[in-house]
Amino acid sequence: MYDEERLKAKLRAIEALYAGATTPGERVAAGLARQRILARLAELRSDAQIEWQFSLTPWSHRLLMALAKRYGLDPYRYPRQHRLTLVIRASERFLKETFLPEYDKMHDVLSEHLDAVTKRVIEEVLHAEESDAEPAQLEAFPSTAYGTEE
């Protein structure tokens, strides 16, 4: 888990700081920081792991995979799940407070960009504005219009 690895790295840095501390004040500060990080590590380990399932488009699948790998998560699928379905297992707190908000922001930015590119390509290639593409309203036909005879 990314948070746990980051906290371990901080803990190592504090240990090095503590070992090189020359004054009692530095040692106390390093010791207090160490205690806080150890408490946070214990809290992360005690958090229940949950599975979060995503049904994605091809480009959002790539985004989620890249972000998951960045945080050291290993997305997976169960047998017979669609290839664009991913499951992530992590602590609920990490998913809700860190992973999902970041994914949502990135997804929104990417969606806006892809929408703008799609609109521009349609206008340039088909010489049509999106607002011109209103669907026609069809009137309901009586049942005899479908070839039923009375």
pLDDT tens readout for residues 17-57:
656 667 777 777 777 776 776 666 566 666 788 899 999 99
- At 12 the pLDDT is 62
Encoded tokens for 53: 């399932």
99, 116: one domain: yes
Backbone angles phi, psi at 51, to 5 degrees: -105, 135
* Reported pTM: 0.57
Flag whether 138 is in a domain. Answer: no
Q: How big is the chain by its Cα radius of gyration, in Å?
A: 27
CB–CB of 44/3 below 8 Å? yes
- Mean pLDDT along residues 98-105: 88
> Could you give the percent of the chain with pLDDT greater than 70?
66
30, 56: one domain: no
Look up tokens 């501390």; give the residue.
21
Encoded tokens for 107: 């997804």
β-bridge mates for residue 50, sequence order: 90
> Could you give the percent of the chain with pLDDT greater than 90?
23
Look up tokens 């990080």; give the residue.
37
Top pLDDT among 31 and 126 is at 126
- At 137 the pLDDT is 74
Look up tokens 């017979």; give the residue.
80
- At 99 the pLDDT is 85
SS3 content of the chain, % helix, strand, coil (to 5): 65, 10, 25
79, 9: one domain: no
Flag whether 26 is in a domain. Answer: yes
Top pLDDT among 110 and 147 is at 110
58, 127: one domain: yes
- Domain that includes residue 75, residue range: 48-131
